[in-house]
Amino acid sequence: MTRFQGSVNVGLREKGTDKLVAVYPHKLEGSDNEIENRVKFWFYQQSCSAENKLQECYVDVVSEDEIKERKDHLR
C-alpha cells in the first residue's frame, strides 16, 4: 500500500516537532516517491533559504482541519 494513496493534501513538516511548514497546492499524482520529489521541488522553488529548510522536513499527509487551522492562523 502506498503512503499517499487516497490522500487529498500533503505538505512538509518539521522533523523534530511535526509542525506543518507548507501545504502543497497541486493535485497529487504518481507514486509516493514522485509525490515526495514534486513537493520538495515545489518548496525549493519558493525561496533561496528553502534548501536549508528542506533538510529539516519530511513530506506527510495533511488533514483538512490542519489546512483550515493554518488559514485561520494566517489571517
Comparing 7 with 42, the larger pLDDT belongs to 42
DSSP letters of 7-26?
-S-EEEEETTT--EEEE--S
As a whole number of angstroms, the distance between CA 54 and CA 43 comes to 8
Mean pLDDT of 50-69: 92
Lowest mean pLDDT segment, chosen from 11-20, 25-34, 42-51, 65-74: 65-74
Q: How confident is the model at residue 72 (pLDDT cuts 50, 70, 90)?
A: confident
Whether 45 shows a pLDDT value over 90: the answer reads yes
Residue 41: is it exposed, middle or buried by C-beta count within 10 angstroms (0-12/13-18/19+)? exposed
